Chain A
Amino acid sequence: MAHKPEYYRTDLWVDWCPGCGNYGILTALTQAIAELGLDPVKTVVVSGIGCSGKTPHYIRVSGVHTLHGRAIPFATGIKLANPSLTVIVEGGDGDLLGIGAGHFVALGRRNIDLTVIMHNNQVYGLTKGQASPTLPRDMRTKSLLKPNIQDMLNPLVLAIASGYTFVARAFALDVKHLKEIIKQAIMHKGASFIDVLQPCVTYNDVYTVQFYRKAIYRLDDESNWDPIVRDPSEEYEKKMKAIAKAQEWGASIPVGVFYHNPLVPSFEERLQGRLRYYIENPPARQSITVNGGAPLIDDRRMRKLFSKKIVPVRSRRPSD
Chain B
Amino acid sequence: MSLRELKMVIGGPQGAGLETILQVLTTALAHNGYGVLSGREYHSNIIGRHSYVLIRVSSYEIPRSLTYPVEVLAAIDPETVFTHYNDLAAGGFLIYDIGGEDIHVGKIVSMGRHLRERIEEELSREGVEPIIKELVNYLESKGVKTLGLNYREIVSELREKYGVPPAKLVRYTSSIVVGAIAGLIGLDAESIHVGFSYKFAGKEKLVEPNVYIAMRVAEIVRKLYGAPLALEESRLPYTEYMIVSGNDVVAMGKIVGGVRFQSYYPITPAQDESFFLENYERLVVDGEQLASIVVLQTEDEIAAITTAIGASLAGARAATATSGPGFDLMVEGLSWAGINEVPVVITYYQRGGPSTGLPTRGGQSDLFAAVFSGHGEFPRIVVASGDHLEAFHDAVEAFNLAERYQLPVIHLLDKFLANSVVTIPVPSTHDMTIDRGKMISHVENPFEYKRFSLDGPVSRRAPLGHAVMWYTGNEHDEYGHITEDPVLRIEMYTKRMKKIELADREIPEEQRAQLYGSDDPEILLVGWGSVKGVAIDVVEMLEKKGIRVGYLHIHYMSPFPRRRVSELIDKIGLENIIAVEHSYEAQISKLIAMHTGKMIRKEIVKFTGRPIYMHELATAVSRILDGRDKVVLNYGA
Residues of A whose CB lies within 8 Å of any CB of B are 10, 12, 40-42, 44, 46, 49, 54, 56-57, 60-67, 70, 72-82, 84-85, 102-103, 105-106, 271, 274-278, 281-286, 288-289, 293-299, 301-306, 308-314, 316-317, 320
Contact = CB atoms under 8 A, between A and B. Distances in A.
Interface string B272-305: 0000000011110110011111101011101100
A314 B240 contact: no
A283 B260 contact: yes
A301 B255 CA distance: 11
Contacts of B360: none
A215 B310 CA distance: 40
B309 interface: yes
6 contacts: A40-B468, A56-B470, A81-B261, A275-B292, A278-B294, A314-B31
Contacts of B194: 311
Given A62-B470, A70-B302, A311-B31, A77 B291 contact: no
B291 A41 contact: no
Interface stretch (B205-213, B314-322, B613-621): B314-322
Interface string B17-60: 00000000001001111000000000000000000000000000
B197 to A, nearest CB: 10
A66 B336 contact: yes
Contacts of B494: none
Interface string B458-475: 000001111111111110
**Residue among B201, B234, B252, B303 with the highest chain A CB neighbour number at 10 A:** B303
Contact of B482 (A40, A54, A61): A54
A97 to B, nearest CB: 15
A314 B32 contact: yes
Interface in B440-478: 446-447, 463-474
Q: How large is the interface on B (under 10, 10 to 19, 20 to 34, 35 or more residues)?
A: 35 or more
7 residue pairs, one from A and one from B, having the closest CB atoms: A77-B310, A288-B258, A283-B260, A77-B307, A81-B311, A65-B472, A81-B314
A105 B306 CA distance: 16
Nearest to A103: B303
B572 interface: no
A276 B282 contact: yes
Given A73-B302, A288-B291, A313-B239, A82 B315 contact: yes
Given A74-B309, A308-B201, A67 B333 contact: yes
A293 B433 contact: yes
Contacts of A277: 289, 292
A92 to B, nearest CB: 15
Given A106-B299, A310-B241, A283 B471 contact: no
Contact of A301 (B285, B313, B434): B285
B223 interface: no
B260 A286 contact: yes
Given A82-B463, A274-B281, A311-B242, 20 more contacts: A41-B468, A66-B306, A75-B310, A77-B310, A80-B294, A103-B302, A274-B282, A275-B282, A276-B289, A282-B316, A286-B292, A294-B433, A295-B434, A297-B258, A299-B428, A299-B430, A302-B429, A305-B280, A311-B194, A320-B233
B225 interface: no
B493 interface: no
Nearest to B255: A297
Contacts of A305: 255, 280, 283, 285
Nearest to B201: A308
B90 interface: no
